[in-house]
Each structure stands twice: as structure tokens, then as C-alpha cells.
Structure 1
Amino acid sequence: MTDLWPAGPEAGDQAFYRSLGDGRYESTSATAGPWSAKTQHAGPPSALLGRALEGHEAREGFRVARVTVELPRPVPVGELRVQVRTVRSGGRTELVEGELTSDGETVMMARAWRMAAGPADTPRLRPETDPPPLPGPQAPHTMLGAHLDGYIAAMEWRFGPGQNFDTPGPGTVWARQRVPLVAGEPDTPLSRALTLADSNWAVSFELDHVRQFVINTDITLALHREPVGEWLCIRSSTAASPVGSGLAAGQLDDTAGDCGRILQTLLVAGR
């Protein structure tokens, strides 16, 4: 990482996790989400689980094309255990699944499709416009009523002119990690994308999450190619219906252009 997390009470937490061996990880305060210092933003644990899914019995020439993460309960800031297994393995595709547990309770589940990379003569189809240019450095961003000293501070955010987390969507943001996912270990393109993906609906706050209870129950990340570089861009919007639910959809770009999509189901309820 080119930047370290700004000095502060948790300045020593220069990663989201520290490996304890045997599939166990210690969560640092950098994982804390915007709603509580005791529970994690879903981005880092999604990336931790996705990293295990792509590394499990990895096969040369295969890549993760889609990951769906289920969020049955909040992930506490504490020790986590990662477990992964192969569901089906074929000549060209394979399905793997995994879970994160805390004190024996399952706090996150995921399934991923890994598939053989396409041939070099596959046409490059890019129906979407390129993202806006990466803005210059910005002051740290805030969010109304949020805990700011965890995940929000551990990421660098660059919004377009006149935009921030509290601007009603649709929204666009460029972001990158200030710290690695696991201390002393390199990030992967998939883990960087998953670290950011759960922020998709927060980039497009179009439902009043202060007046109502709004929370996502899942994250689907589909990548038609590997993201490149540290900086990723989300362009997100939200659909919702009375007596229904919300749906946040985002396009994921890097500095080379379109690389994937993000989809999140949103529970909308009264407080």
C-alpha cells in the first residue's frame, strides 16, 4: 500500500486482519463498520472469505468469475475461523463454498464459481461508458451518524464534485485500501474488489437509512476480468418498491475501464 492509515489510537492496526494460523484470523479495529465499533463492515470479511475460496485447491488457468456472500448476522470484531470446501469440480468449472465462524457460530457464508479463463480471441465487449477520471486527493470523508475510525478511515475515498456519503444517490466513488487485508500477505484483485463491494449501496444512499432501517442481506460480485491496480470505481444506483425491498446495483471499474458488477438485496423496514 502506498499510504498507511493515518496515525491515531489504532495506528498500529496496519491491516484488517492478522493471521493466527490454522484458518484463524484476528480482526483489528480497522474492520469496524459504520454502525458500531463492535461489528465489522462486511467488506473485509467478504474479502477474507473470497481469498480463501480462490486459494482453495487452486488450479492453474482458473479464475473466480462470481462470488455471492450471504450475511445471516453481524460479524463481530474478534477472532474468525475460515473453512472452505469444494462442492463440484469439473473440467472447465468448479463450485466452492465457505463460511466464517465466530465462537462456533456461522456469521458469513459464500459460494464462488471458478472457471477456466476464456481464449485470447474472445471479443472485448464493453457496452458501458468509461468511469470518470480519478479525482485528486480529498480530505477524509464523513457519514452522518457513523463510526468513522474503522473501515471508513482504513479506505481512501474520492467522490465526484459535490458528492459524499451523505449525498442522495445515484453515486460514484473511487476508492482503495490504505491497509492490506492480512498483515504481511499480498492482496489479490478479487480480495480488493470484495473489500470494496459491500460499500456499493452506501455510495448510492437513495433510501432514507436514518428514518428507516435499511440493510443488505447479501453481496454478489461478478467479474468478467480481473481488476487491475489499487484504485477501483463504483457507480451505483438503487431500485425499491412499496411493499417490496431494495436492490442496489453497481458497475465496478478500474483505471482500465469496466470489469464487473455488484448486486445487493436491501431489507427496508420501519424503525
Structure 2
Amino acid sequence: MEKTESLPEAFYWPLGDGRYASSSATAGPWTSKAQHAGPPSALLGRALERHASREGFRVARITLELPRPVPVGDLQVTVRTLHSGRRTDLLEGELTSGGKRVLTARAWRVAGSPADTPKLRPVPASPQLPHPQPPHTMAGAHLDGYISAMEWRFEPGTGFDTPGPGTAWARQRIPLVADEDDTPLTRALTVADSSWAVGFELDHRQGLVINTDVTLALHREPVGEWFCMRSATAASPHGSGLALGQLDDEAGDCGRILQTLLIADR
């Protein structure tokens, strides 16, 4: 993880009692006052995987709901167990800011599969990690937050402003929480909300296109810092959009990303 001098120390600083201060690195591409959903998703995922942890269990699926923008400010994290069985846990968590709910999540934590489970990976291998590239831009976007806090490597000749489907590798330049090591789950959640932006296929500048949720499903623990997202979007008149991302790490296929897209006139 290579931090540059202009970046904050981390996305968040712990304040105690489940409270966190947000750094400017959390700011999303649409405004400097609202966070990209990646870092707060990872912050909530971090709390869920730590909650009443059980040996041999892992978070296999987490769905995050985005009822309103997450402000760049102090956040409160709370989690609880909805169900705990012999092989599964259903967990729920939320982030609040100023007493308002800004992000909710439910996650299935399951017992690991047997050692003789076959390796089934029904998708082609991802492209190799490209060589280092100059910083990527996005037309009309706020670049000095999350976009700069991540390192992006697109297929040669492409970027955020290239019509999708799209493919990009990404990794964090700074940790999620100051003075802490990231986990495989938090690293995956930090990039997951970027999936549909990697393959923009709807005009988000002329019309309103925004995701209402993020689902990350992982069939194994990711490895390494780098993630490859191969993303495409489906959409229909009088309907909505659906962005599907194939998620790979440095060892290959590790999961899927699903996002519902609200499409409306501005």
C-alpha cells in the first residue's frame, strides 16, 4: 500500500465507542461533502465480521442499503445478531450520522466449506494486472477524495469516461482505519461500490443514475491488495438498471458484485 504525501493517513480515525471520524479521502466523485459508498461499506463490514466472531466462520454475502448520502463527518457504527445457528449467522448493522441512518447492512456469516470441496470457477480468467498508469480522471467529478485514495489500472486506452462494459484493477493507497491492518473483506468492500462506474454504460451526466444498494458475494476469502472488476449494466425502459461485476483478486475469481441503479431525469 503506497501512500502519497497529499493523502490523509487513513479513510477513518477511531474515536471510541463505535464512533469514527471520516477523512477527506472518503469523499465521492459527485461532491466533496458526501462519501463514496466504498469506505463506509467497508467500515460497516469490519464491524460485522468482528461482531461475536466464531472460529472457522466467514462473511459469504453482505448487502448494503444506501437510503441517503453518507456525509464526510463523524459516524456511529452499531451491529447485532439476528440469527445464530450451528453453521450460519445472520447479522445486521447500521451507520448513523447526527442521529440519522445513512447506511444499513445484512450479512450471512457461514461455516467454511470442507477441504475436499471442488474448486468451481465458471468464468474466464481475468486480464493480467496492467503496468502502472498516470492518475485517472472522471469528467465533472471531485477527484481529491476516494478516486485519488485508490490506485486504478484500466485496460490500456480506457478509463472512467470510456463507455462500458469495462475492466479495471484497483487497490487502496491508504488503510481503512488508522493504525490497523485491513482484512480481505474490508478491502473487497472498499472497491465493490465502484463496480458500475468501471463500466459506465448509462449517461450519468445528463440524467440521474445512482445505485441504491451494493451486494458483495464472496465464495472464498480474497487475497492480496489488488482487485479486478469486470462490469456490465443491463437496463430497460420503465424499469431500472442492474450492474453486475465479476470480482477477481491476484489468485483469480473470488466473487460477484450486484447493484440496483435508479435511472431518472434530472
Q: Report the TM-score, using the length of structure 2 for normalisation.
A: 0.99
- The gaps in structure 2 that reach 5 residues or longer are none
Q: How far has the Cα of 1:125 moved from its partner?
A: 0.4
- 1:161 has 2:132 as partner: no
User: Corresponding residue for 2:20?
Assistant: 25
Alignment of 1:1-271 (within 5 A): 1=1, 3-4=2-3, 6-8=4-6, 11=7, 13-271=8-266
Structure 1 runs (4+) greater than 4 angstroms displaced: none
For 1:145 and 1:213, how far apart are their aligned partners in 2? 14
Letter paired with 2:85: G
For 2:99 and 2:121, how far apart are their aligned partners in 1? 44
Q: How far has the Cα of 1:207 moved from its partner?
A: 0.2
Instruction: Please state whether the residue corresponding to 1:74 is helix, strand or coil.
Output: coil
For 1:262 and 1:226, how far apart are their aligned partners in 2? 15
- The gaps in structure 1 that reach 5 residues or longer are none
Letter paired with 1:113: W
| Cα shift readout 1:127-176 (whole Å, capped 9, x = no counterpart) | 11110000010000000000000000000000001110000000000000
| Cα shift readout 1:90-144 (whole Å, capped 9, x = no counterpart) | 0000100000000100000000000000000001001111100000100000000
**CA RMSD, Structure 1 to Structure 2 (Å):** 0.6
Letter paired with 1:55: R
For 2:214 and 2:50, how far apart are their aligned partners in 1? 20
For 1:91 and 1:247, how far apart are their aligned partners in 2? 34
For 2:196 and 2:126, how far apart are their aligned partners in 1? 18
For 1:22 and 1:113, how far apart are their aligned partners in 2? 24
For 2:176 and 2:264, how far apart are their aligned partners in 1? 33
Letter paired with 2:5: A
Aligned identity (percent) is: 74
Instruction: Please state whether the residue corresponding to 1:258 is helix, strand or coil.
Output: strand
Q: How far has the Cα of 1:48 moved from its partner?
A: 0.2
For 1:94 and 1:25, how far apart are their aligned partners in 2? 26
Q: How far has the Cα of 1:7 moved from its partner?
A: 2.9
Instruction: Please state whether the residue corresponding to 2:148 is helix, strand or coil.
Output: helix
Instruction: Please state whether the residue corresponding to 1:30 is helix, strand or coil.
Output: helix
| Cα shift readout 1:4-34 (whole Å, capped 9, x = no counterpart) | 0x333xx4x1200000011000000000000
| Cα shift readout 1:57-93 (whole Å, capped 9, x = no counterpart) | 0000000000000000000000000000000000000
Letter paired with 2:222: P
Instruction: Please state whether the residue corresponding to 2:122 is helix, strand or coil.
Output: coil
For 2:38 and 2:164, how far apart are their aligned partners in 1? 20
